[in-house]
């Protein structure tokens, strides 16, 4: 099986940190000590992939932000990893003039333009530092990999390509072009790193189609320029070439606005929904001691604590997609096994301690036997400590999530929304939940109501709507997001895409509609429709950048089934859809599906974007 994107991106970073030479395996030689200078974009790309310890193993003694005050370190090479922006280039030129380092390895996250290269060259000339600029590389790494099978385009400046940016009513053509170019630049980097030219499919008439057209053009131009093509033999490391080309399906967020608002039930998606979780790091307030503070005393300050949820964390890898109650049980089980192991070590220590008093009494046999036991127990200590750290981490995180579930009655919301989405019979009225003061925050109520509004086949009558609005306003909801959803619904009606939530007899919109719309294990029947059915995808446009003529042929040349697919949502995505695809892939041996999105938002962030659109 081909290496995952995460492995490829990490390998590319390691190669870069090794001055763009392949890192040598099994050498005992010391690495060359160097400084890593990155901007915020570079930091976001590196941090989910390489830990500080790995950087140190690669010889990075210092890692600093480009725009921080840095002291000269004259006898050390510096590796730069930055975006080719105006201000970054200016700062690099300033570094050259101030002669901060011994030599400069400039790596740009995405391709640098000729004019900016010339700026660096003239600065190097005037600073008499031409010989010190050792290498300049375009790395094509302008995307962030969060999981083996998940990536996002950016974290910095993500508002520039957000759902809000793409859908605001007063957007100018030039702005739209710029947004599409940014997205395409990142996707191009993604395919260069993946080392494959995809076959692109997309629905017609939305932002996804614009991205597809531009990406096809960019890939085509690169393939045509045979000397500098990034997809030919020399640039592709051995073993990256699989004969199967990936299928790249672009979807538009507007096809489904219900799922991102959904209250979810799986561990990773819940953490993202209720805690502060981004780039695989969760930050939360840690309450210091639960004892009541004396009256009149200032309440104790909460510490911010952050935890990294990494690929090395086996518990996380196993349970991030599990329903929350299962996770809680597993944490308890882990804790019990850990305690048993700890007791065993203590027991052995005490035996050794006691029996060590009377030298003669211990026969040499039992002594060697015990020593072996103790040695194994002691050698397992570091592993035990690491296990303890992970158990503590998940206990804290799971407890924090549980507090939210209890205080906001999230389980009630989850079940009710599931029923709405799958058109099952509802056991209590929506108004009851909205007007129940104990159930959830105003935002939770707004999310529930929006899902009800989006999935309803018939919109509620004006009088009902006024009643709902009144109830929502009384609980303190901001209704501007509803205004936007109303416009959106009116617009999609005109565009006449019969959206198919649940199992009414309407023909599914496209190949991912059912799985995007029916979000959970209860409605897994939605997933069956994910299999490519010919008649459903006929209206999807088909691009093959490898075809010489750019003829827009909607008849796919390649009728073979695909082993690898990449689903990319323009306008933002979430962990719920990611988890659905993971579950789907598990059921299909030999298939790999990657999930990507232009930004990753949780329901709260998405509602904010909808609200600001509704205020326009």
415/96 Cα distance (integer angstroms)? 60
453/449 Cα distance (integer angstroms)? 6
DSSP one-letter string for 67-115: TS----EEEEEEEEEE---HHHHHHHHHHHHHT-EEEEEEEESSPPPHH
162/179 Cα distance (integer angstroms)? 9
- Is the pLDDT at 456 greater than 80? The verdict is yes
Name the residue among 89, 34, 39 with its Cα closest to residue 66.
39
Contact by Cβ (8 Å): 191, 197: yes
Q: How far is CA 58 from the centre of its chain?
A: 25
- Is the pLDDT at 331 greater than 80? The verdict is yes
Contact by Cβ (8 Å): 530, 512: yes
Q: What is the mean pLDDT of residues 442-453?
A: 92
Name the residue among 112, 198, 183, 180 with its Cα closest to residue 151.
183
Run of H or E residues at 260: none
Kindly report which listed range (24-33, 316-325, 354-363) carries the lowest average pLDDT score: 354-363
Q: What is the mean pLDDT of residues 104-126?
A: 92
Complete domains list, the chain, with CATH: 5-138 (3.40.50.2060), 142-262+519-615 (3.40.50.1910)
612/154 Cα distance (integer angstroms)? 21
Contact by Cβ (8 Å): 346, 380: no
- Is the pLDDT at 517 greater than 80? The verdict is no
Q: What is the mean pLDDT of residues 84-90?
A: 94
Of residues 232 and 417, which shows the higher confidence score? Answer: 417
213/184 Cα distance (integer angstroms)? 10
**266-312 pLDDT per residue, tens:** 999 999 999 999 899 999 887 644 444 444 445 555 678 899 998 88
Contact by Cβ (8 Å): 582, 321: yes
The whole-number pLDDT of residue 354 equals 54
Name the residue among 593, 574, 577 with its Cα closest to residue 585.
593
Tokens found for residue 491? 């617009």
Q: 608 pLDDT band (50/70/90 cuts)?
A: very high
| CA–CA distances in Å: residue 238 to residues 4, 8, 233, 242, 382 | 15, 12, 8, 10, 37
119/92 Cα distance (integer angstroms)? 10
Kindly report which listed range (245-254, 261-270, 453-462) carries the lowest average pLDDT score: 453-462
Backbone CA torsion sign across 608, 609, 614, 616: positive
Burial 279-302 (b: 16+ CB within 10 A, else e): ebebebeeeeeeeeeeeeeeeeee
484/262 Cα distance (integer angstroms)? 17
The whole-number pLDDT of residue 362 equals 46
Of residues 139 and 534, which shows the higher confidence score? Answer: 139
262/428 Cα distance (integer angstroms)? 18
| Residue 289 backbone class (left: φ over 0; alpha: ψ -120 to 50; beta: rest) | left
Contact by Cβ (8 Å): 161, 153: yes
CB atoms within 10 A of CB 512: 25
| CA–CA distances in Å: residue 141 to residues 111, 113, 220 | 10, 16, 19
**175-201 pLDDT per residue, tens:** 999 999 999 999 999 999 988 889 999
Phi, psi angles (nearest 5°) of residue 596: -135, 155
The whole-number pLDDT of residue 239 equals 39
Q: What is the mean pLDDT of residues 530-540?
A: 47
| CA–CA distances in Å: residue 220 to residues 45, 204, 499, 547, 549 | 27, 20, 34, 8, 10
Q: What is the mean pLDDT of residues 516-522?
A: 33
Kindly report which listed range (212-216, 224-228, 285-289, 405-409) carries the lowest average pLDDT score: 285-289
Phi, psi angles (nearest 5°) of residue 62: -135, 140
DSSP one-letter string for 80-91: EEE---HHHHHH
The whole-number pLDDT of residue 189 equals 94
Give Cβ neighbours of residue 348 (< 8 Å, ≥ 6 apart): 370, 373, 374, 377
- Average pLDDT over all residues of the chain: 81
Q: What is the mean pLDDT of residues 318-333?
A: 92
The whole-number pLDDT of residue 71 equals 92
The whole-number pLDDT of residue 176 equals 93
Q: What is the mean pLDDT of residues 35-41?
A: 95
**347-382 pLDDT per residue, tens:** 877 776 655 445 444 444 456 666 777 777 777 778
The whole-number pLDDT of residue 336 equals 92
**61-76 pLDDT per residue, tens:** 999 999 999 999 989 9
Helix (H, G, I), strand (E, B) or coil at 386: helix
The whole-number pLDDT of residue 298 equals 52
Q: What strands, in cross-sheet order, belong to the sheet with 303-308?
A: 276-278, 281-286, 303-308
- Is the pLDDT at 535 greater than 80? The verdict is no
Half-sphere CA count of 245, side-chain side, radius 13 A: 19
Tokens found for residue 2? 């081909």
- Is the pLDDT at 146 greater than 70? The verdict is yes
Of residues 28 and 213, which shows the higher confidence score? Answer: 213
The whole-number pLDDT of residue 610 equals 94
The whole-number pLDDT of residue 382 equals 83
DSSP one-letter string for 422-478: HTPPPSS-HHHHHH-TTS--HHHHHHHHHHHHHH-SSPPPHHHHHHHHHHHHHTT--
Give Cβ neighbours of residue 147 (< 8 Å, ≥ 6 apart): 6, 311, 578
% of the chain residues with pLDDT over 90: 47
Name the residue among 616, 593, 570, 609 with its Cα closest to residue 252.
570
Helix (H, G, I), strand (E, B) or coil at 573: strand
Contact by Cβ (8 Å): 265, 213: no
| CA–CA distances in Å: residue 338 to residues 95, 119, 396 | 52, 59, 16
Tokens found for residue 85? 């922006």
Helix (H, G, I), strand (E, B) or coil at 491: helix
Of residues 88 and 420, which shows the higher confidence score? Answer: 88
DSSP one-letter string for 182-193: HHHHHHHHHHHH
Phi, psi angles (nearest 5°) of residue 151: -140, 155
Q: What is the mean pLDDT of residues 526-540?
A: 43
Kindly report which listed range (222-236, 270-284, 366-380, 509-523) carries the lowest average pLDDT score: 509-523
The burial of 86, by beta-carbon neighbours within 10 Å (0-12 exposed, 13-18 middle, 19 or more buried), is given as exposed
Q: 216 pLDDT band (50/70/90 cuts)?
A: very high
Q: 236 pLDDT band (50/70/90 cuts)?
A: very low
The whole-number pLDDT of residue 375 equals 76
């Amino acid at each position: 099986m081909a290496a995952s994107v995460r492995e490829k991106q990490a390998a590319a970073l390691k190669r870069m940190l090794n001055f763009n030479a392949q890192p040598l395996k099994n050498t005992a030689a010391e690495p060359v000590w160097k400084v890593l200078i990155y901007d915020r974009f570079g930091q976001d790309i590196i941090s989910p992939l390489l830990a500080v310890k790995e950087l140190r193993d690669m010889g990075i003694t210092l890692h600093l932000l480009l725009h921080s005050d840095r002291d000269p370190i004259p006898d050390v090479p510096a590796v730069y990893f930055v975006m080719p922006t105006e201000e970054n280039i200016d700062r690099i030129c300033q570094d050259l003039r101030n002669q901060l380092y011994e030599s400069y390895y400039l790596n740009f996250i995405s391709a640098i333009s000729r004019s900016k290269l010339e700026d660096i060259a003239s600065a190097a000339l005037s600073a008499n530092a031409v010989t010190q600029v050792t290498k300049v590389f375009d790395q094509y790494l302008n995307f962030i990999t969060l999981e083996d099978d998940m990536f996002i385009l950016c974290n910095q400046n993500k508002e520039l390509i957000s759902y809000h940016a793409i859908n605001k009513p007063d957007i100018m053509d030039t702005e739209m072009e710029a947004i599409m170019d940014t997205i395409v630049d990142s996707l191009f980097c993604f395919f260069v790193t993946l080392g494959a030219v995809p076959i692109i499919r997309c629905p017609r008439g939305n932002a996804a189609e614009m991205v597809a057209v531009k990406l096809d053009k960019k890939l085509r131009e690169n393939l045509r320029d045979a000397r500098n093509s990034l997809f030919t033999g020399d640039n592709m490391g051995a073993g990256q070439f699989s004969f199967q080309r990936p299928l790249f399906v672009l979807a538009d967020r507007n096809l489904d606005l219900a799922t991102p608002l959904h209250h979810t039930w799986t561990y990773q998606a819940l953490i993202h929904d209720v805690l502060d979780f981004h780039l695989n790091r969760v930050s939360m307030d840690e309450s210091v001691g639960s004892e009541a503070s004396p009256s009149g005393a200032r309440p104790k300050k909460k510490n911010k604590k952050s935890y990294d949820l990494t690929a090395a964390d086996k518990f996380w890898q196993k349970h991030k997609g599990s329903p929350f109650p299962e996770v809680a049980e597993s944490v308890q089980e882990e804790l019990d096994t850990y305690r048993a192991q700890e007791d065993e070590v203590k027991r052995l220590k005490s035996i050794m301690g006691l029996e060590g008093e009377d030298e003669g009494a211990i026969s040499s046999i039992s002594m060697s036997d015990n020593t072996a036991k103790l040695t194994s127990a002691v050698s397992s200590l570091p592993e035990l400590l690491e296990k303890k750290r992970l158990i503590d981490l998940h206990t804290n995180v799971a407890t924090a999530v549980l507090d939210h579930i209890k205080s906001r009655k999230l389980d009630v919301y989850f079940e009710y929304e599931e029923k709405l989405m799958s058109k099952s019979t509802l056991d209590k009225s929506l108004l009851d939940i909205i007007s129940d003061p104990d159930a959830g925050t105003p935002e939770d109520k707004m999310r529930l109501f929006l899902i009800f509004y989006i999935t309803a086949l018939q919109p509620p009558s004006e009088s009902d709507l006024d009643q709902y609005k009144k109830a929502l306003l009384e609980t303190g909801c901001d209704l501007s997001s509803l205004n936007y959803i109303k416009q959106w619904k009116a617009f999609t009606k005109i565009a006449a895409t019969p959206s198919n939530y649940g199992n009414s007899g309407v023909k599914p919109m496209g190949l991912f509609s059912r799985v995007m719309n029916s979000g959970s294990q209860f409605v897994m029947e939605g997933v069956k429709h994910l299999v490519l059915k010919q008649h459903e995808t006929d209206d999807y446009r088909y691009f093959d950048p490898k075809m010489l003529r750019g003829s827009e042929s909607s008849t796919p040349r390649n009728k073979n089934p695909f082993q690898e697919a990449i689903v990319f949502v323009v306008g933002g995505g979430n962990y719920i859809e990611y988890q659905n695809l993971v579950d789907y892939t598990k059921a299909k041996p030999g298939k790999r599906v990657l999930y990507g999105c232009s930004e990753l938002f949780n329901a709260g962030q998405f509602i904010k974007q909808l609200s600001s659109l509704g205020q326009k």
